[in-house]
Chains A and B, each alone.
Chain A
Amino acid sequence: MKKSNKKSIWVFGDYRNYYQNRVTLQLLSKAVDLAKIIKAEVCALIFGHEIDEWIMEYTAHGADRILAIDDPALKSYSTERYLAIIEALAKERDPEIILIGATDFGREFAPRLAKRLKTGLSADCVGLDITEDGLLLQLAPSFGGNMLAEIITERHRPQMATVRPGTFKEIPHNYERKALVERLPLMKNLPKSRVRLIEYERSVEKEHTIENASVIVCGGRGMGNKEKFKRLQELAKLLGGNVGATRPVVYAGWADHDALVGQAGKHIKPKILFSFGISGAIQHTAGLGEANFIVAINKNSQATMMKMADVAIAADASDVLNSLIKELKKRIRE
């Protein structure tokens, strides 16, 4: 196999998440854009067993090269083994950039990889670009307030970033595309994994997530109390949507952690988002990147969320909710 002399942008193939968020495909699409600017190739990494499906899929979505290790020993995800594999590959091939989806696995795996490669990492990026100096510009939500930071990794390589699912759009597949597929053997000196997977199952109760819902009714602390918050469910049901929540609300126990929308929670892409009593801290709004039409209801017309909205309704969130439920029921019944 010929090794490339070209710069390389690596995209970690998080195929286990394919059916949930297709973040790898989204990253491949962005990597293709970035690669054009810095004249690099896009390289997808796939480690697992019986992975031809993913080789095909990633090729179809923009990978120029695939580094694949197909071995029964890699049947299930393993942080420790992946770390060892990528460490070895990176030392040999010196990638310019490594992009990893900010899935639960990616968020656990990427920081360790960055530490092992002694390089920097920007977490949860909401945008990527190339600077005038040819560096990876990592746009990441930053500490606490409503702000974004432009981060660069000046000297250390690779430049690493995790990106939340839903940040970029995947390019349409093209199964005619060809990539250079390097099927590598499993390294011999790979350390034994100290973490043993005893059992795992796909959690069925989590399948109907709000990530794919087209109508989402989100509530914040401005709803007043738990009982008032619970009424959001009624509106969601009326519109065939899901309920989302901000972090303070989840902390207060008004909603389950599953419903958390934002940087540490779900990234949503509804066609319409109702935002009740939410001020609009970045931790929440970072999850709203792809909401198509936002209706915000808040007593405070100056709230960030109100400014982000297409329609801002300045009134008590709970009152409007009750009224809206009543009115919708009436209009539906008429």
Chain B
Amino acid sequence: MQFNPCMKHKLIRNSVRNFAETELAPVAAEIDRNAVFPLDVIGKMKNLNYFGLQVPKEFGGAAMDSISASIVIEEISRICAAVGLCIAVHNGVAIYPFLQFANAEQKKRYLPKLASGEFIGAFSLTEANAGSDSASVETTAVKRNDEYVLNGTKIFVTNGGVCDLALIFALTGFELGRPQSSVFIVESNYPGFLRGELEDLCGMRANPVSSLFLEDCCVPEKNVLGKIGDGMKIGLSTLDTGRIGIAAQALGIAQGAFEAAVKYAKERQQFKKPIASLQTIQNYIADMATEITAARLLLYRACSLKDEGVSFGCEASMAKLYCSSVASKVTSLAVQIHGGYGYSKEYDVERYFRDAKVTEIYEGTSEIQRLVIARSILSQLIL
């Protein structure tokens, strides 16, 4: 058992940190305030393989292991969670299904473009009446000659405003009376693919989260991912991976807020001494540090199970549940330690605080994670 980061992981962390602190830190507050997706920084990230973290080298990716990929997302999110979200979703739920379920032709056609960032990807399951309950998707796909015609509305699509390609979940029929869904690779330039207004969100404001409208959108038959009817299978397997990405993002947010809080506690003087010398503040700092460390170990364990090729769904859910809860708690304490200043836009912790909350909501709410974990535990024969 190996608990310390190896040289490669240390170097990856330092390199990404250097990039994020140099390129993202100067704009992070501003792009949050103005809800702007930072295209120039994203352009640089494309050239540095941030859009092909785990894509094999033959398709132009960085072929990273899962811990490395998590470190990348963590370090980007430590500075700017919205950009962290962009790459977490692109590399997770948008690319992973290709790696798992796409046929050779689809891989050859799309993976190089996705890995280079020429195509930014999105994953569209959520609808007004279908969130955690993926079976109640209402978007439909009807076969007509050698294509499928898609109709429906997807909401809260991360990267929606800028994506060049989206994986769309749609209803393709019923099997034994149960709805049967399938996944379609839809390029944004297909006729009938329309984007809604960007959402005005509490956090993650620099990510262009939007709705997508499919109005008689024609998708070639060769763009069905896996087989017709594979929707549920692809969805569940993809979400496991997605959860690892969001856990990494939440952990990065927690780390960023934690560092800001420690720095502030050492600087801020009250009663003629730094507040870090007060026991209450020390207790906060101790708790934050302990929980962040625990969260990180949980996450990396899920990653290593994934790379071993064994089942990691339960561990991914545990990591996602715990990392997001730690992010919420740590960012809240970071604001508390900052006092009134923490509530002001002048300090970054306010942004971290807003960004953290959604990590408990998307990619499966904390409630759903508990459900997944409990089901897995209860189905085990030997505990």
A: residues with CB less than 8 A from B are 225-226, 252-253, 299-302, 314
Residues of B within 8 A of A (CB): 22, 25-26, 266-269, 274
A226 near B26: Cβ-Cβ < 8 Å: yes
Task: A302 to B26: give the CA distance in the assembly, Å.
Answer: 27
The answer to whether A301 and B269 touch across the interface, beta carbons within 8 angstroms, is yes
Cβ contacts under 8 Å, A301 to chain B: 269
A299–B268 touching, CB < 8 Å: yes
| Other 11 A-B pairs with CB < 8 A, given A300-B267, A301-B269, A314-B269 | A225-B25, A225-B26, A226-B26, A252-B22, A253-B22, A299-B267, A299-B268, A299-B269, A300-B266, A300-B274, A302-B274
State the Cβ distance, A299 to closest chain B Cβ, in Å: 5
CB distance from B264 to the nearest CB of A (A): 9
Please report the C-alpha to C-alpha distance between residue A252 and residue B26 in the assembled complex, in whole angstroms. 10
14 contacts between A and B (CB under 8 A): A225-B25, A225-B26, A226-B26, A252-B22, A253-B22, A299-B267, A299-B268, A299-B269, A300-B266, A300-B267, A300-B274, A301-B269, A302-B274, A314-B269
Give every chain B residue within 8 A of A253 (Cβ-Cβ).
Answer: 22
- Chain A's closest residue to B25 (CB) is A225
**Minimum Cβ distance to chain A for residue B120 (Å):** 28
Q: Taking CB as reference atom, which chain B residue is nearest A301? A: B269
| Residues of A close to B274: CB separation below 8 A | 300, 302
The residue among B22, B26, B267, B268 with the most chain A CB atoms within 10 A of its own CB is B267
- Closest A residue to B264 by CB, please name it: A299
Which 6 residue pairs across A and B have the least CB separation, nearest first?
A299-B267, A300-B267, A225-B26, A226-B26, A301-B269, A314-B269
Per the bound structure, the CA–CA distance linking A253 and B26 in Å amounts to 11
Residues of A with C-beta under 8 A to B25: 225
> In whole angstroms, what is the CA distance A98 to B71 when docked?
53
Closest chain A CB from B229 CB (angstroms): 53
A306 CB → nearest B CB, Å: 12
**B340 shortest CB reach to chain A, Å:** 14
Min CB distance, A161 to chain B, in Å?
Answer: 36
Shortest beta-carbon distance, B108 to chain A, in Å? 41
Interchain CA distance A302-B25 in the complex, whole Å = 27
Complex: A314 Cα to B163 Cα, angstroms: 48
In the assembled complex, how far is the CB of residue B103 from the closest CB belonging to chain A, in whole angstroms? Answer: 47
Query: Within 8 Å CB of A225, what residues of B?
Result: 25-26
Specify the chain B residue showing the minimal Cβ separation from A251. B22
Residue of A nearest to B29 (CB): A225
A166 to B267, CA, bound (A): 34
Complex formed: what's the CA distance from A300 to B22 in Å?
A: 24
Complex-state Cα separation, A287 to B269, whole angstroms? 29
Taking CB atoms, residues of chain A closer than 8 Å to B268 are 299
CB distance from B201 to the nearest CB of A (A): 25
Chain A residue nearest to B341 (CB atoms) is A316
- Expressed in whole angstroms, the minimum distance between the Cβ of A315 and any Cβ of chain B is 10
CA distance A226 to B21 in the complex (A): 13
Minimum CB–CB distance for A257 against chain B, Å: 17
A252 contact set on B, CB distance < 8 A: 22
Q: How far is the CA of A314 from the CA of B266 in the complex (A)?
A: 13
Q: How far is the CA of A314 from the CA of B272 in the complex (A)?
A: 11
A301 to B269, CA, bound (A): 8
Which residues in B have their C-beta under 8 angstroms from that of A302? Answer: 274
Query: How far is A226 from B266 in the complex, measured between Cα atoms in Å?
Result: 23
Alpha-carbon separation in the docked complex, A104 to B138 (Å): 73
